[in-house]
C-alpha cells in the first residue's frame, strides 16, 4: 500500500492545481469581456495624457473593448501608482507608467507606498520622449548661455515649473541647476496643463517639459525652446540644440512610458494585453503623429520592459543624489 501512496498523492496534488488554475485560464480565455481602465498619473491635457489617449483608442480597437482613461494626478504620480498596485489583478486596470513613477520616485520618496518592481506586471514599453527647455514670453534669454547668465545674475529668483514633485520635468530642472551651477526656484504643478497656463502668463519663467504640450506655442513664438534634453537633436526641432551642445556636456534626460498591470495578473492576460499593445502602437497614422511631436513610438516584450525598469532605478538614484533634488 505504501508503494502506491506517492503516485496517489501526486495525482491528488495535480487535481488540486488543475482546479485552482482552471478559473484563471477560463478568465484569460474570455478576456476582455468588459471595458478596461487605464490610469494616467497626470491630469487631462498634459503630454502623458495625450499619449495615453492615443494608445487607449487603438488598444481598445485591438481588444474589442473600450479603454477608459482615468486621470489621477498628484504627488509625482504616486497617487495613480498606489491605486493600480492595489487594484484587482485581472487585467482590467492598467497603469500608464512613466520613468518618474517607476524609476525616479524610489529615490525621491523615502516612504513610497508601492514597490515599482514587485507591485506591477510589465506589459510593454510604448513611448520615449525628451524634455524641452522652454522659457516664457517675459524671459529675455534667447539661448542656454543667456538663460544661465540670467539665473546666475538673479539667484533664487528665476523660476521653473514642473508637472509635479518627483516628475521627470522636476528632476530635469534639478539636474540643470546642478550642472549649470545656478540656483532657481522649483514650482510644482499637478500636470503640464496648468503649468502651460502660468508659463504663458509669465507667472513662471521656464520649464523642462514635453514638446507635445508646447509645440503650438513654440511654432507661434509665444514661448521659446532653448534646448532639448536628449542626446541628439529632435527631428521636430532640428534647429534647437541639445543641452550638451549648448555647454552642459553629459546632460541627457529622455522620459519613457509604458503599460503595467497589477502584480499577479495571469500570464495569459498579460500576453493578450501585450499583443494588443503591439498592434496598437503599430498604427501608422498614430506613429507619424507621435514622431512629428518629438515622441518615439515603440514596443518591447514584458521582460525587456521589466529589465529597463530594474536598470533605471539605480541610475536615477545616483542622479537624484547628485542633483540634490528633494520632494517638498
> pLDDT band at residue 15, thresholds of 50, 70 and 90?
low
CATH for 134:
3.40.190.10
In a domain, 317, yes or no: yes
- Whether 19 has a pLDDT exceeding 70, the answer reads no
Give the per-residue pLDDT at 16.
Answer: 52
Tally of domains within the chain: 2
Cα radius of gyration (the chain): 22
Share of the chain above pLDDT 70, in %: 91
In a domain, 153, yes or no: yes
Q: What grid cell was written down for 303? A: 521582460
Cα–Cα separations (whole angstroms), residue 104 to 77, 133, 208, 253: 10, 20, 16, 12
Instruction: Note whether 42 and 97 are same-domain residues.
Output: yes
> pLDDT band at residue 160, thresholds of 50, 70 and 90?
very high
Structural domain boundaries enclosing 195? 130-228
Instruction: Note whether 221 and 277 are same-domain residues.
Output: no
- Whether 3 has a pLDDT exceeding 50, the answer reads no
What's the CA gap between 317 and 99, in Å, rounded?
Answer: 12
In a domain, 170, yes or no: yes
- Whether 106 has a pLDDT exceeding 70, the answer reads yes
Cα–Cα separations (whole angstroms), residue 267 to 119, 122, 261: 15, 11, 11
User: Residue 5 CB: number of other CB atoms within 10 A?
Assistant: 9
In a domain, 97, yes or no: yes
Which pLDDT tens digit goes with each residue over 176-219? 999 999 999 999 988 788 999 999 999 999 999 988 889 999 99
- Whether 328 has a pLDDT exceeding 80, the answer reads no
Q: Cell 540634490 appears where?
A: 324
> pLDDT band at residue 9, thresholds of 50, 70 and 90?
low
Instruction: Note whether 174 and 121 are same-domain residues.
Output: no
In a domain, 284, yes or no: yes
Q: What grid cell was written down for 183? A: 540656483
In a domain, 158, yes or no: yes
Instruction: Note whether 137 and 198 are same-domain residues.
Output: yes
CATH for 97:
3.40.190.150
Amino acid at each position: 500500500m505504501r508503494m502506491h501512496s506517492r503516485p496517489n498523492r501526486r495525482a491528488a496534488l495535480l487535481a488540486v492545481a488543475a482546479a485552482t488554475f482552471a478559473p484563471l485560464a477560463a478568465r484569460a480565455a474570455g478576456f476582455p469581456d468588459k471595458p478596461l481602465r487605464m490610469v494616467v498619473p497626470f491630469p487631462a491635457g498634459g503630454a502623458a495624457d495625450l499619449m495615453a489617449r492615443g494608445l487607449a483608442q487603438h488598444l481598445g480597437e485591438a481588444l474589442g473593448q473600450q479603454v477608459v482613461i482615468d486621470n489621477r494626478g498628484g504627488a509625482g504620480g504616486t497617487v495613480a501608482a498606489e491605486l493600480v498596485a492595489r487594484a484587482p489583478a485581472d487585467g482590467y486596470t492598467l497603469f500608464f507608467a512613466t520613468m518618474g513613477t517607476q524609476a525616479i520616485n524610489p529615490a525621491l520618496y523615502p516612504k513610497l507606498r508601492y514597490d515599482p518592481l514587485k507591485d506591477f506586471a510589465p506589459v510593454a514599453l510604448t513611448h520615449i520622449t525628451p524634455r524641452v527647455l522652454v522659457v516664457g514670453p517675459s524671459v529675455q534669454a534667447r539661448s542656454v548661455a543667456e538663460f544661465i547668465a540670467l539665473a546666475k545674475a538673479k539667484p533664487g529668483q528665476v523660476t521653473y515649473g514642473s508637472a509635479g514633485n518627483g516628475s521627470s520635468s522636476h528632476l530635469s530642472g534639478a539636474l540643470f541647476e546642478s550642472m549649470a551651477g545656478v540656483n532657481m526656484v522649483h514650482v510644482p504643478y499637478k500636470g503640464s496643463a496648468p503649468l502651460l497656463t502660468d508659463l504663458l502668463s509669465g507667472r513662471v519663467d521656464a520649464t523642462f517639459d514635453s514638446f507635445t504640450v508646447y509645440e503650438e506655442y513654440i511654432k507661434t513664438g509665444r514661448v521659446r525652446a532653448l534646448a532639448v534634453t536628449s542626446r541628439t537633436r529632435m527631428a521636430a526641432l532640428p534647429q534647437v540644440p541639445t543641452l550638451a551642445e549648448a555647454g552642459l556636456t553629459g546632460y541627457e534626460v529622455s522620459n519613457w512610458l509604458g503599460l503595467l498591470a497589477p502584480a499577479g495578473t495571469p500570464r495569459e492576460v498579460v500576453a493578450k494585453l501585450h499583443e494588443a499593445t503591439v498592434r496598437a502602437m503599430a498604427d501608422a497614422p498614430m506613429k507619424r503623429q507621435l514622431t512629428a511631436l518629438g515622441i518615439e513610438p515603440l514596443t518591447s516584450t514584458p521582460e525587456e520592459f521589466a529589465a529597463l525598469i530594474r536598470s533605471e532605478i539605480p541610475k536615477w538614484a545616483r542622479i537624484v543624489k547628485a542633483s540634490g533634488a528633494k520632494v517638498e
